[in-house]
């Protein structure tokens, strides 16, 4: 079943989000939306649309081929247009299986990794999930397609604002986004059924462990090395905590503000 | 036109110029290690040194500049050096380069090229002066070369004293000042040098009134900026030392307790972060003086030996923030000792954070020795119930980052043997590392422990070992006696209570492994079973995708795991990400390739563009001999210098001290060799070829003798070791001072205009030699690196008589 995230058609999404990486203006009113939609249909060459559609379809095929089996995850990967979450100059490579820069020294993760981490969370539709590291909002959008309630935190103000606006424009009303330090979680919305950290950390943040429900899962790239970490899943049980090592990944570390000393 | 006879002031100018150049380059490595990472520093400064060779290349192409050696010209170039030092630091500090972003931002390559260009300017100006003088005074080269390398020798010592001042910028200011002094000495007329002093004074004044312009910018991906993220975090104390920058800081996200059980995660007391070089995190833990307040240590893997035996005496190697001391206090250990060369953290904690640390480092029960653990163990006859080695840093983290991948003499077979010899009958050696699959560090630790036990006469090492792992760490415990049955029972319950996994104990069953922190396969158990089995060990080590053979004093690169014959497999394992290779020290390979490429350009370009190239075809064969000769002696010199530095760390305790002592001793003795080279080399019975042949033999003799000599020296006090080092290095150093000046002198008699080209070949070979030395040492060990140096000297000997 679809949740709120897919309220608008794909083409509407495409047009609505437009060049969000460049345009920081106010939300369009509905008339503007309709006008833009009509103009888009008139002037965007169908070849251009097909290009993204073909690339997107190929990306989903590749994801399935790589071993992703969860149908809900595959459906989410099919419906969320990745090219709407990357800067305009990189849209041609938006569906390639590698990370892309989104500004502020951060990246959008490679599609296969997003699908893999989402699958490993073993989500139920009713789950309440916290994401640390909103970035462009792509992972939050994928989660939004699968579950009822998504909370996402981004430390970089500019990215947080852009992502919140983009998610809202695209109709992902079940996503709550805020700017803040994900290390401390979102206590007001806790406990969570699952927590996903999308930036490298060198230990399991204790506050996040506290905000996880009994039976909840947390997935994170552990190890603050330059170029790769171990993806682990922590499962909180009543009297115990189990850890599963899932594989080697490469994430950008959680960053702070550039320091002058 | 013949130049005027050289004056003492001219020699003084050269001395200060080369001194400033060395101070600048070594300081840059230090600063870039803090702002970025050590291997980046190594790469950038290595390439920048090509500026010296580029000057030679420039002078061949623009030959008319060679005759410009008036006092005013030399003075101006030296002043440009001074300005370039300051400008290159200021510009590179503002360029938004971050090596982390290379993986996704192509602009970073452009920034990197700009870095190279800007940083090459100061050495370029130095090279311009030296190559011009060598060409014009080729028959007095010995004296010139003497002051050149004497200045460099002083610079290598001076950097130890000056680099810690002015927020770490002492070296930059000193280098600029040396350039100014050099400029004044070249042309000491008031009217010439007053404006220069005025200009530099304005820069100094700007730095004084607007210090933020000069402050070092750190990469936002380093630990320090990350820890400063929360609003209520702040730096409490910063100290620059010649070895590192230390920051003590308060931040709610400081969390340093390697392997702490997730079941007791909230029990960690408040900690102050101790960040070394902006990157490596350690911590001071809040302690109220009562051991009972330290219950969290019960949930650390390092508590295991205290559960297995009654520990009355413990030796903590490199105690850093003192976490292992807290464990010892909690478990009521009678005698607690620490030994390390990084005790500055303890000193600062004692002076500035006495109350926070509960007087831990002032406590009479903690006895701290400031020296290397290897040297201490060599000098003491004491035995301990527990010897704890520091948790191995993440891959390739160098202590100073001066010369590439880290050499760690605490993680070699010889070091482990030394530790085992200092254990009481029931004593434990405890060593740990962070887990970061694919398995490499863990396996190397195990193969080290096995080799050391075997070398200590234990026929069945598998009976003396225990291994456990937590979420993030892997630990090995080794003892001299076989592990007892009751110890295995304690081990199991210890791990069960904390959610730790037993990886190995004698007789372990596969059902007992991989229970709490689960891999899809019991990969640890499988690998260790193969390693511990005498019949499968060699095959396993030969076939494993990474190099996990035990490291030795001859090849002490614990963090180097890549195998040349398995690069394709390794590339696949890392998800086809080439950047992973940087962590294993293969950035040095990148430097090597880049240096080769740029050197080729610098050497070939003059042949294509030189105005007098019409004369060159007549001396085609001679050209090759010139190139081969100067290139070979440049390579050989650097191979030996780097090997000596890396080898002498063992006896001089720290890479920076070793680098300074070796460079200073080698250069000073070479300077003396250069000074007397004219007398010896003009002797009718003594040819350049014979001399270099003798040098090659002496160098080879050192390969045979050096291990034995160093092993004996470790038992002496530090001053004696320094003295012996100086003498030992001076012998080959003296002989190594001959080939360059003799070659230049010979060239000056026949083809003077090619001297800058020879200078270029020699300079570029020095940069290539630096990275080649590290690469060869990592792959085949120090001995083979020296053998390679001898081969290059033999080639030079063969070519010497054809100059």
Structure confidence at residue A33 (pLDDT) = 54
Q: Which residues of B touch A205 (CB under 8 A)?
A: 253
Spatial distance between the Cα atoms of A76 and A74, rounded to a whole number of angstroms: 5
- Nearest partner of A110 among A62, A145, A75, judged by Cα: A62
Asked if the Cβ–Cβ distance from B100 to A252 is below 8 Å, we say yes
Structure confidence at residue A47 (pLDDT) = 58
Q: How far is CA B214 from the centre of its chain?
A: 26
Q: How far is the CA of B325 from the CAs of B249, B302, B333, B336, B359, in angstroms?
A: 21, 11, 9, 7, 12
Burial of A197 (0-12, 13-18, 19+ CB in 10 A): buried
A224 pLDDT higher than 70: no
Q: What are phi and psi of B468, to 5 degrees?
A: -135, 165
Structure confidence at residue B622 (pLDDT) = 65
Structure confidence at residue A25 (pLDDT) = 42
Which H or E element spans position B708? helix B688-713
Beta strand extents in A85-191 (DSSP E only): 100-103, 106-108, 128-132, 149-154, 175-179
Whether the Cβ atoms of residue B474 and residue B500 lie closer than 8 Å to each other: no
Q: Does residue A259 belong to the interface with chain B, where contact is any CB pair within 8 Å?
A: yes
Q: Which residues of A touch B394 (CB under 8 A)?
A: 223-225
Q: Which residues of B touch A225 (CB under 8 A)?
A: 394-395, 436, 583
Whether the Cβ atoms of residue A85 and residue A21 lie closer than 8 Å to each other: no
Q: Which residues of B touch A258 (CB under 8 A)?
A: 217-220, 225
Asked if the Cβ–Cβ distance from B218 to A258 is below 8 Å, we say yes
Structure confidence at residue B613 (pLDDT) = 55
Structure confidence at residue B196 (pLDDT) = 85
Q: What are phi and psi of B79, to 5 degrees?
A: -70, -35
Whether the Cβ atoms of residue B466 and residue B504 lie closer than 8 Å to each other: yes
Spatial distance between the Cα atoms of B671 and B677, rounded to a whole number of angstroms: 10
- CA B103, B105, B109, B111: dihedral to nearest 10 degrees? -130
ipTM of the complex: 0.79
Asked if the Cβ–Cβ distance from B265 to A101 is below 8 Å, we say no
Cβ-proximal residues to B592 (8 Å cutoff; 6+ apart), any chain? B768, B771, B772, B775
Task: Tell me the sheet residues that pair with B250.
Answer: B234, B272
Asked if the Cβ–Cβ distance from A250 to B105 is below 8 Å, we say no
Q: Which residues of B touch A222 (CB under 8 A)?
A: 471-472
Confidence of residue A18 (pLDDT cuts 50, 70, 90): very low
The single residue listed with the structure tokens 């993220």 is B229
Question: Which residue out of B90, B96, B496, B575 would a mutagenesis test of the A interface target, given it has the greatest number of A Cβ atoms within 10 Å?
Answer: B575
Structure confidence at residue A254 (pLDDT) = 64
Structure confidence at residue B760 (pLDDT) = 92
The single residue listed with the structure tokens 């931040």 is B251
Question: Which residue out of A226, A242, A254 would a mutagenesis test of the B interface target, given it has the greatest number of B Cβ atoms within 10 Å?
Answer: A226
Asked if the Cβ–Cβ distance from B518 to A256 is below 8 Å, we say no
Q: Does residue A252 belong to the interface with chain B, where contact is any CB pair within 8 Å?
A: yes
Spatial distance between the Cα atoms of B415 and B430, rounded to a whole number of angstroms: 13
Structure confidence at residue A34 (pLDDT) = 56
Asked if the Cβ–Cβ distance from B103 to A255 is below 8 Å, we say no
Q: What is the DSSP letter of B623?
A: H
- Nearest partner of B532 among B464, B437, B433, judged by Cα: B464
Q: How many CB atoms lie within 10 A of CB A177?
A: 22
Structure confidence at residue A12 (pLDDT) = 46
Structure confidence at residue B68 (pLDDT) = 75
Helix (H, G, I), strand (E, B) or coil at B79: helix
Spatial distance between the Cα atoms of B494 and B500, rounded to a whole number of angstroms: 8
Question: Which residue out of A87, A97, A98, A105 would a mutagenesis test of the B interface target, given it has the greatest number of B Cβ atoms within 10 Å?
Answer: A105
Block mean pLDDT (10 aa), chain B, length 803: 78 96 90 80 77 89 80 93 95 84 77 88 95 90 90 90 86 95 92 84 82 84 84 91 88 90 84 88 89 91 96 94 92 93 85 89 80 91 96 46 61 96 96 88 94 93 95 94 95 95 93 92 91 92 94 88 84 74 68 87 82 52 82 94 86 80 90 83 64 89 82 81 90 92 87 87 90 87 92 90 74
Q: How many CB atoms lie within 10 A of CB B707?
A: 17
- Beta strand B517-518 with A192-197 is unpaired
The order of strands in the sheet holding B280-285 is B234-240, B245-250, B271-276, B280-285
Q: How far is the CA of B156 from the CAs of B176, B668, B770, in angstroms?
A: 15, 11, 16
Whether the Cβ atoms of residue B342 and residue B370 lie closer than 8 Å to each other: no
Helix (H, G, I), strand (E, B) or coil at A24: coil
Structure confidence at residue A111 (pLDDT) = 93
Whether the Cβ atoms of residue B671 and residue B150 lie closer than 8 Å to each other: yes
Whether the Cβ atoms of residue A140 and residue A152 lie closer than 8 Å to each other: yes
Structure confidence at residue B244 (pLDDT) = 83
Structure confidence at residue B747 (pLDDT) = 86
Q: What is the DSSP letter of B318?
A: S
Spatial distance between the Cα atoms of B251 and B281, rounded to a whole number of angstroms: 12
Which residues of A are part of the catalytic machinery? 109
**The total number of residues written for chain B in this structure:** 803
Asked if the Cβ–Cβ distance from B518 to A244 is below 8 Å, we say yes
- Beta strand A106-108 with B271-276 is unpaired
Confidence of residue A103 (pLDDT cuts 50, 70, 90): confident
Nearest-Cα residue of chain A relative to residue B264: A206
Structure confidence at residue B151 (pLDDT) = 94
Nearest-Cα residue of chain B relative to residue A183: B253
Q: How far is the CA of A72 from the CAs of A69, A132, A139, B231, B719, in angstroms?
A: 9, 22, 14, 39, 70
């Amino acid at each position: 079943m679809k949740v709120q995230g897919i309220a608008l058609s794909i083409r509407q999404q495409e047009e609505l989000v437009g060049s969000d990486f460049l345009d920081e203006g106010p939300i369009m009113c509905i008339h503007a939306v309709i006008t833009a939609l009509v103009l888009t249909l008139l002037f965007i060459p169908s070849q251009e649309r097909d290009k993204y559609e073909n690339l997107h379809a190929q990306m989903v095929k590749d994801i399935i081929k790589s071993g992703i089996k969860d149908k809900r995850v595959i459906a989410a990967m099919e419906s969320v247009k990745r090219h709407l979450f990357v800067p305009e100059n990189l849209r041609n490579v938006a569906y390639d299986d590698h990370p892309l820069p989104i500004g502020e020294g951060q990246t959008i993760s490679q599609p296969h990794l997003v699908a893999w981490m989402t699958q490993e969370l073993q989500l139920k539709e009713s789950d309440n999930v916290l994401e640390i590291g909103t970035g462009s909002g792509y992972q939050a959008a994928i989660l939004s397609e699968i579950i009822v309630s998504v909370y996402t935190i981004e430390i970089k103000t500019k990215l947080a604002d852009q992502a919140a606006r983009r998610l809202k424009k695209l109709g992902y009303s079940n996503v709550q986004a805020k700017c803040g330090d994900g290390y401390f979680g979102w206590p007001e919305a806790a406990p969570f059924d699952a927590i996903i950290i999308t930036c490298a950390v060198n230990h399991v943040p204790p506050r996040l462990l506290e905000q996880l429900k009994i039976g909840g899962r947390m997935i994170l790239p552990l190890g603050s090395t330059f170029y790769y970490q171990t993806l682990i899943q922590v499962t909180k049980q009543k009297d115990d905590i189990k850890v599963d090592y899932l594989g080697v990944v490469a994430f950008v570390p959680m960053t702070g503000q550039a320091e002058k000393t | 036109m013949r130049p005027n006879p050289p004056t003492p002031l001219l020699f003084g100018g050269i001395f200060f110029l080369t001194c400033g150049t060395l101070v600048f380059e070594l300081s840059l490595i230090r600063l870039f290690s803090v702002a970025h990472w050590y291997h980046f520093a190594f790469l950038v400064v290595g390439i920048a040194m090509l500026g010296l060779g580029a000057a030679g290349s420039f002078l061949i192409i623009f030959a008319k500049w060679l005759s410009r050696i008036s006092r005013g010209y030399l003075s101006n170039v030296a002043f440009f050096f001074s300005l370039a030092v300051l400008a290159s630091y200021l510009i590179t500090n503002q360029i938004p380069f971050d090596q982390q972003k290379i993986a996704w931002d192509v602009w970073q390559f452009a920034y990197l090229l700009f870095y190279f260009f800007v940083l090459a300017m100061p050495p370029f100006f130095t090279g311009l002066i030296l190559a011009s003088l060598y060409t014009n005074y080729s028959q007095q080269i010995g004296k010139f070369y003497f002051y050149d390398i004497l200045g460099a020798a002083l610079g290598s010592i001076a950097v130890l004293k000056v680099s810690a001042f002015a927020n770490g910028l002492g070296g930059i200011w000193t280098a600029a000042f040396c350039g100014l002094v050099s400029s004044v000495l070249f042309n000491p007329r008031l009217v010439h040098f007053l404006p220069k002093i005025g200009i530099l004074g304005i820069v100094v004044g700007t730095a004084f009134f607007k210090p933020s312009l000069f402050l070092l910018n750190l990469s936002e991906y380093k630990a320090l900026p990350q820890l400063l993220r929360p609003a209520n975090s702040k730096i409490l104390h910063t100290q620059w030392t010649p070895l590192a920058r230390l920051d003590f800081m308060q931040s709610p996200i400081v969390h340093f307790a390697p392997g702490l059980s997730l079941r007791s995660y909230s029990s960690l007391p408040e900690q102050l972060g101790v960040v070394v070089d902006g990157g490596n995190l350690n911590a001071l833990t809040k302690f109220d003086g009562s051991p009972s307040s330290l219950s969290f240590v019960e949930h650390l893997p390092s508590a295991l030996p205290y559960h297995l035996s009654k520990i009355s005496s413990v030796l903590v190697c490199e105690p850093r923030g003192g976490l292992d001391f807290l464990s010892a206090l909690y478990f009521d250990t009678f005698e607690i000792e620490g030994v390390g060369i990084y005790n500055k953290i303890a000193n600062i904690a004692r002076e500035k954070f006495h109350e926070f640390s509960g007087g831990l480092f002032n406590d009479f029960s903690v006895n701290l020795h400031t020296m290397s653990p290897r040297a201490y163990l060599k000098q003491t006859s004491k035995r301990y119930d527990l010897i704890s080695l520091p948790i191995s840093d993440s891959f390739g983290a160098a202590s100073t980052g001066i010369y590439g991948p880290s050499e760690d003499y605490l993680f070699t077979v010889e070091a482990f043997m030394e530790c085992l010899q200092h254990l009481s009958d029931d004593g434990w050696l405890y060593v740990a590392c962070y887990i970061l699959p694919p398995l490499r560090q863990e396996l190397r630790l195990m193969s080290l422990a096995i080799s050391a036990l075997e070398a200590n006469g234990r026929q069945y090492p598998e009976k003396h070992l225990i291994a456990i792992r937590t979420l993030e760490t892997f630990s090995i415990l080794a003892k001299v006696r076989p592990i007892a049955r009751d110890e295995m029972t304690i081990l199991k319950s210890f791990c069960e209570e904390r959610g730790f996994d037993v990886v190995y104990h004698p007789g372990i069953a596969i059902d007992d492994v991989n229970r709490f922190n689960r891999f899809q396969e019991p990969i640890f158990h499988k690998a260790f079973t193969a390693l511990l089995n005498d019949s499968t060990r060699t095959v396993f080590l030969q076939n494993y995708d990474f190099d996990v053979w035990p490291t030795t004093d001859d090849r002490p690169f614990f963090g180097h795991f890549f195998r040349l014959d398995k690069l394709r497999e390794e590339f696949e394992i890392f998800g086809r990400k080439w950047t992973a290779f940087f962590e294993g020290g293969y950035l040095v390979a990148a430097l090597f390739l880049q240096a080769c490429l740029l050197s080729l350009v610098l050497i070939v370009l003059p042949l294509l563009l030189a105005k007098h190239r019409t004369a060159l075809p007549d001396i085609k064969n001679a050209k090759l001999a010139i190139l081969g000769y100067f290139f070979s002696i440049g390579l050989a010199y650097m191979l030996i210098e780097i090997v000596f530095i890396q080898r002498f760390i063992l006896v001089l305790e720290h890479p920076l001290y070793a680098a300074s002592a070796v460079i200073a001793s080698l250069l000073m003795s070479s300077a003396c060799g250069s000074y007397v080279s004219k007398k010896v080399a003009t002797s009718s019975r003594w040819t350049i070829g014979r001399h270099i042949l003798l040098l090659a033999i002496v160098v080879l003799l050192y390969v045979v003798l050096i291990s034995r000599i160093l092993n004996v020296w470790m038992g002496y006090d530090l001053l004696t070791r320094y003295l012996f080092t100086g003498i030992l290095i001076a012998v080959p150093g003296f002989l190594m001072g001959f080939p360059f000046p003799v070659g230049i002198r010979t060239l000056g008699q026949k083809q003077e205009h090619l001297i800058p080209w020879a200078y270029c070949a020699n300079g570029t070979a020095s940069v290539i030699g630096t990275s080649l030395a590290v690469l060869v040492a990592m792959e085949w060990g120090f001995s083979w690196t020296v053998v390679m140096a001898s081969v290059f000297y033999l080639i030079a000997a063969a070519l010497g008589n054809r100059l």
